[in-house]
Amino acid sequence: MRVGLFLTCLNDTLFPGAGKAVVQVLERLGHEVVFPPAQTCCGQAHFNTGYRRECVPLARKFAKDFAGLDHVVSPSASCVAMVRENYRELVGESPPVYEFSEFLVDVLGVTDVGAAFPHRVTYHPTCHGLRLLDLGDRPTALLRAVRGLRLVDLPDATHCCGFGGTFALKNADTSVAMGTDKARNVLGTGAEVLAAVDNSCLMHIGGLLSRWRSGTRVLHVAEILAAT
């Protein structure tokens, strides 16, 4: 299958590993990945901060950049939710985007992608993956199939981590208070790695874990699935 990769501006800038991992997993499963190089940003930050008008050209550009692709896959649940939930109303069309775990399980029908990752991992279901995309147990089903991986439950997993896009800056104190509770729960599991399907939330929780020199690191689910 020919699959378009929507990297997202955040991954493009600060998390190159997620995009590489998506490419590696899809190619390992025998699919062809296309990366339209003109892609930039879906406009989520603009839209969610109240700049709807500024968002429209970005949504148009997105539709143009990914035109002609039947399947566009992205390692970001919140950007996929942005396109799926809002583009129709914004620009009259919504390109066929899938979050990575959703694409693997629903479209390709695989849960075992042949990965090996001998570590103790806990999983945080990010809010937009959980409530807007209804990813349910897709990401954890994929993680459970990884050789050597020990998945441990995260207490209060469904509680928001406090990132919230511009919330992290506009309400930095509250954001950090929420992130602290989340990071503390992560540390309580004794996991070496916190996994999620959104690097934005991982940037926030991971930023705290790193500042505390906790020794626990964050990884996108795709990076774990790419490991062999």
Partner 1 sequence: MNVWLGMPPFPEAARQALGDSQLRANLRAATATIRTKRAAVVAERDDWEQLREAGRAIKDRALRDLDTYLLQLEAQVTDAGGTVHWARDADEANRIVAGLVRAAGATEVVKVKSMATQEIGLNEALAAAGITALETDLAELIVQLGHDRPSHILVPAIHRNRAQIRELFRREMPGVDPDLTDDPVALASAARAHLRRAFLAARVAVSGANFAVAETGALVVVESEGNGRMCLTLPEVLISVVGIEKVIPTTADLAVLLQLLPRSATGERMNPYTSFWRGTTPGDGPREFHLVLLDNGRTTALADEIGRDALRCIRCSACLNVCPVYERTGGHAYGSVYPGPIGAILTPQLRGPDPVADSLPYASTLCGACFDACPVKIDIPRALVHLRGKVAHPPGERAAMRAAAWVMSRPPRFAVARLAARLGARLARLPGPWRRWTEARDLPTPGESFRDWWDARERP
Tell me which residues touch partner 1 (CB under 8 A): 7, 9, 11-17, 19-20, 23, 35, 37-41, 43, 45-52, 54-55, 57-58, 61, 127-128, 130-132, 158-160, 162-179, 203-204, 206-208, 210-211
**Least separation in angstroms between CB 179 and partner 1:** 7
Q: Where are the alpha helices (DSSP H) in the chain?
A: 9-14, 16-28, 44-49, 52-65, 77-91, 100-102, 127, 138-144, 167-170, 172-188, 199-211, 221-226
For the bound state, the minimum distance from the C-beta of residue 127 to partner 1, rounded and expressed in Å, comes to 4
Stated length of the chain? 228
* Residue 101 near residue 221 (C-beta atoms within 8 A): yes
> Judged by CB, which is closer to partner 1: 109, or 173?
173
For partner 1, the closer of residues 65 and 150 by Cβ is 65
Q: At what angle do helices 172-188 and 199-211 cross, to 10 degrees?
A: 80
Give the chain's end-to-end CA distance (angstroms, integer): 22
Least distance in Å: CB of 47 to partner 1? 7
**Vertex 196, ends 21 and 63: CA angle to 5°?**
65
Nearer to partner 1, 41 or 193 (CB): 41
Shortest distance, CB of residue 219 to partner 1, whole angstroms?
A: 11
Nearer to partner 1 by Cβ, of 111 and 171: the residue is 171
